[in-house]
């Protein structure tokens, strides 16, 4: 595992934004004017996710405010910007996707982050989930195994002013022990079992949200997982299961342990 090149990331950030940003952690960000209609599309997206007639909906006002603020169209390929506020995943290259906005919001909401907490994200991807976390937590530590995605995400996050989001290249299976223990861990790729090294890096009372593959007779077709919230207690992990999801599989050392 190795830190990202600050020189390359900074240069790319200037290319993306044309200026340096500042803020993060809920402060105002310096941004270029949005294309026409993006703010309205983002508001419509969030309004749909908080409708009271939905079985699963978002309720936390801080999470909803973050979704209203973060420009998802900046985190998808330019050719797909017009589709950024549809509630569906989109390809971001290298066989990876940006998760659908509802899943990003729901995973964030169940973590119940406080402004003074630190969170570890496994799988930076586009950087969108990290930006949402950056609006809510004090510090966000995000690990990406694909160099191209990690460099691009860090540059964009820096250009948008997220000084409290730290991106690192490496294998998320091993976590980021230098900054442990964490109040929360969010895993944005599917695993067939809970990574023990990540549990070790959780504080007592900490929470982890992760898509886990089902096994045995109850397993559905391949590629379907369950979204699970784990709480670390003196008696062990307490598990709460929500609904079926589809995430790309976790890669790296977890495949060969």
Domains of the chain: 2-255 (3.40.50.150)
Do residues 75 and 126 lie in contact, with contact meaning Cβ atoms separated by under 8 Å? yes
pLDDT at residue 216 greater than cutoff 80: no
Quickly state the pLDDT bin for 28 (edges 50, 70, 90). very low
Look at residue 55 in the predicted model and tell me its pLDDT: 82
How far apart (Å, rounded) are the C-alpha atoms in residues 107 and 118? 16
**How high does pLDDT run on average in the chain?**
85
How far apart (Å, rounded) are the C-alpha atoms in residues 216 and 89? 28
pLDDT digits (tens, 9 = 90+) for 116-143: 999 999 999 999 999 999 999 999 999 9
pTM for the structure as a whole: 0.83
pLDDT at residue 5 greater than cutoff 60: no
How far apart (Å, rounded) are the C-alpha atoms in residues 125 and 148? 10
Q: Is 99 a catalytic site residue?
A: yes
Active-site position among 5, 82, 99, 126: 99
CB atoms within 10 A of CB 128: 25
pLDDT digits (tens, 9 = 90+) for 73-99: 999 999 999 999 999 999 999 889 999
pLDDT digits (tens, 9 = 90+) for 157-183: 999 999 999 999 999 989 999 999 999
pLDDT at residue 239 greater than cutoff 90: yes
Quickly state the pLDDT bin for 206 (edges 50, 70, 90). very high
Quickly state the pLDDT bin for 54 (edges 50, 70, 90). confident
């Amino acid at each position: 595992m190795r830190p990202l090149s600050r020189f390359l990331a900074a240069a790319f950030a200037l290319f993306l934004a044309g200026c340096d940003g500042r803020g993060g952690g809920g402060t105002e960000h310096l941004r270029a004017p949005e294309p026409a209609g993006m703010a309205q599309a983002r508001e419509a997206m969030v309004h749909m996710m908080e409708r009271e007639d939905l079985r699963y909906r978002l309720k936390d006002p801080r999470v909803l405010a973050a979704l209203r603020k973060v420009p998802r169209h900046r985190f998808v390929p330019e050719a797909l910007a017009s589709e950024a506020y549809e509630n569906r995943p989109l390809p971001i290259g290298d066989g990876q996707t940006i998760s659908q906005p509802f899943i990003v919001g729901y995973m964030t909401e169940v973590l119940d982050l406080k402004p003074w907490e630190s969170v570890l994200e496994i799988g930076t991807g586009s950087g969108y989930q990290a930006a949402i976390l950056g609006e809510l937590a004090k510090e966000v530590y995000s690990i990406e195994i694909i160099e191209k995605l990690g460099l691009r995400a860090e540059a964009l996050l820096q250009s948008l002013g997220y000084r409290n989001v730290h991106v690192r290249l490496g294998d998320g299976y091993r976590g980021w022990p230098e900054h442990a223990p964490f109040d929360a861990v969010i895993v944005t790729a599917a695993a067939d079992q809970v990574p023990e090294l990540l549990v070790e890096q959780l504080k007592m009372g900490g929470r982890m949200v992760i898509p886990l593959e089902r096994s045995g007779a109850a397993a559905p077709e391949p590629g379907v997982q369950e979204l699970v919230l784990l709480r670390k207690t003196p008696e062990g992990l307490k598990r709460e299961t929500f609904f079926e999801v589809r995430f790309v599989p976790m890669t790296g050392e977890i495949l060969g342990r």
